[in-house]
A = this chain, B = another copy of it.
Amino acid sequence: MKILVFAGSLRKGSYNKRFAREAMRLLAGRPGVETEFVDLQPLAIPVYDGDLEEASGVPAGVKTLSDKILAADALLISTPEYNGSIPGILKNTVDWLSRLKPVSLSGKHLLMIAASPGALGGIRSLWHSRQPFEVLGTHVFPEVLALPLAHQAFDEGGKLKDPKLAERLSALLDRYVAHARKA
């Protein structure tokens, strides 16, 4: 079972890239589970413009991501919360992905987690961001995990400092993998 992992933000120091990679580390030991991280930044996906699409087609970065999603059994996205909602960059990526048929996201399993420097950990984004994925036919796992105070959460090696949080994430990954494997 192959899980494609990415973060809904572009910057190098992104807490969500760290949180996504920490989830991969926790998944590492599991038999039959393979993970791949894809960084959206080098894909250089532009803002969606129908005229651009008509003139030059779907950008190469979108095709790359779409192919990786098609080749995966399940997805894991760690997303920041921008203004109480899905980041524009993540929604823009979804909008471009929806232009390629078959739609890669359709029928895939997805676990959404979030990291945020705020006290709520991105919980509003997690619940608001499900809708476009579900509209495209993605099976969004009902459980989510929001990491508050993300700027203090990781040690220098990128591991979660709080062992209880790492355990909670690990247990969530267990449930997600078990579910995605069955379905």
Instruction: Give the contact stretch, choosing among A29-37, A66-74, A121-129, A151-159.
Output: A121-129
Q: Write out the residue numbers on chain B whose beta carbons fall within 8 Å of the beta carbon of A128.
A: 127-128, 131
Residue among B13, B49, B83, B127 making CB contact with A124, cutoff 8 Å: B127
A85 interfacial contact with B, CB 8 Å: yes
Chain B residue at minimal CB-CB distance from A103: B83
Residue among B41, B46, B48, B135 making CB contact with A49, cutoff 8 Å: B41
Q: Write out the residue numbers on chain B whose beta carbons fall within 8 Å of the beta carbon of A124.
A: 123-124, 127, 131, 135
Q: How many copies does the complex hold?
A: 4
A162 interfacial contact with B, CB 8 Å: no
Q: Write out the residue numbers on chain B whose beta carbons fall within 8 Å of the beta carbon of A102.
A: none
> Once the chains are docked, how many angstroms separate the CA of A134 from the CA of B85?
11
A9 interfacial contact with B, CB 8 Å: yes
B-contacting residues, A20-59, CB 8 Å = 41, 45-52
> Once the chains are docked, how many angstroms separate the CA of A51 from the CA of B42?
13
Q: Write out the residue numbers on chain B whose beta carbons fall within 8 Å of the beta carbon of A95.
A: 82-83, 87-89
A50-B11, A83-B98, A95-B82 are known contacts. Are A142 and B134 too (CB-CB below 8 A)?
A: yes
CB–CB B88/A135 < 8 A: no
Q: Write out the residue numbers on chain B whose beta carbons fall within 8 Å of the beta carbon of A86.
A: 85-86, 91
Residue among B49, B92, B120, B142 making CB contact with A138, cutoff 8 Å: B142
CB–CB B137/A142 < 8 A: yes
Interface residues of A (CB under 8 A from B): 9-14, 41, 45-52, 82-96, 98, 120, 123-124, 127-128, 130-140, 142-143, 179, 182-183
A-B contact pairs, 7 of them (CB 8 A): A9-B50, A10-B47, A14-B50, A83-B98, A120-B123, A123-B124, A137-B142
